[in-house]
Amino acid sequence: MNTLAKQTIWLLSFLVCASSGYGDQNPALRYGVISGRIVLTEAIPALPPLVPEGAHVKDGAVCAAEGIPNERLVWSGDTAGVHNVFIYVYKLRRELIHPDLTEPTSKPATLSIRGCRYRPHALCVRTGQHLELTNKDSVSHNPNSYSLRNQGLGSLVTPNSTTSVRHQMREFFPFVMQCDYHPWMSAHILVLDHPYMTVSNSDGKFEIPKLPYGTHELRVWHELKGYILRKDIILNTQSLDLGKIPFQLTLDDKAALGIEQTNDSNH
């Protein structure tokens, strides 16, 4: 067999293999879901409110009408699941994003102020997506955000009005939004240039769907502790359950929450 014939046979064999589905072995062409649950490792007492009902504070008729809970740590008393924990993939190339999720939704992310309290307390936003902030109170607020890579939001929001901002740069971790008028107000916002981010629900559960197969750096972050977890995960199945991720409080964490330490005479 001459050289030309051998080259022809090799080329035909390559084309047959390529058309027979070898391309499906590319991890980027397959997608799965990761899930898990953030769980407190010990029982702790309920936290006192940040602003008790009827307290004498600025704009108390609005801000103290119902009292404002301490949302720095929110958990389920029944299951110990921790709410408002950010779970996200640190980086992902645009070409690997699932076709359904390539572009950010045209629907804005929404943050509202009601009763001198941001709702929700933790929010995920994609770059290029509008973030709308609506003041539903009868008093003014002065929101101020402290992001590392985007222009901060620092403008007066009058009663029953809405302002909007669009973040163009991804952040490395969530940033805080506060209010210059009411210092107890806070929310945390994560901005990424891909959709693979979420916040744990009231039972501590989370799910990130349509994630491409492969190795990903997963980050788990909470405002009280910072990073709870930073590790590489390998997704090579349609469903990967990470199980329970422990949320362990240190003595400093408890002190920050105002939880009194008790001395155990047996130790």
pLDDT band at 51 (very low <50, low <70, confident <90, very high): very high
Give the pLDDT score at 261: 75
Backbone angles phi, psi at 217, to 5 degrees: -85, 110
Residue showing tokens 């009902």: 53
pLDDT band at 7 (very low <50, low <70, confident <90, very high): very low
Q: pLDDT (tens digit, 9 = 90+) per residue, 100-112?
A: 999 999 999 999 9
Structure token digits, residue 35 = 């899930």
Give the pLDDT score at 267: 39
Mean pLDDT for the chain overall: 89
- Contact of 201 with 180, CB cutoff 8 Å: no
Domain ranges in the chain? 26-257
CATH code, 26-257: 2.60.40.420
Which residues on neighbouring strands pair with residue 39, listed in sequence order? Answer: 81, 246
- Contact of 85 with 108, CB cutoff 8 Å: no
187-209 average pLDDT score: 98
Q: pLDDT (tens digit, 9 = 90+) per residue, 152-181?
A: 777 899 999 999 999 999 999 999 999 999
Percent of the chain with pLDDT over 90: 82
Nearest of 9, 17, 76 to residue 46 by alpha carbon: 76
For residues 23 and 241, which has the higher predicted lDDT (pLDDT)? 241
49-75 average pLDDT score: 97
- Contact of 137 with 116, CB cutoff 8 Å: yes
- Residue 13 clears pLDDT 50, i.e. is over it: no
DSSP string, 243-254: EEEEE---HHHH
CB-CB neighbours of 99 under 10 Å: 8
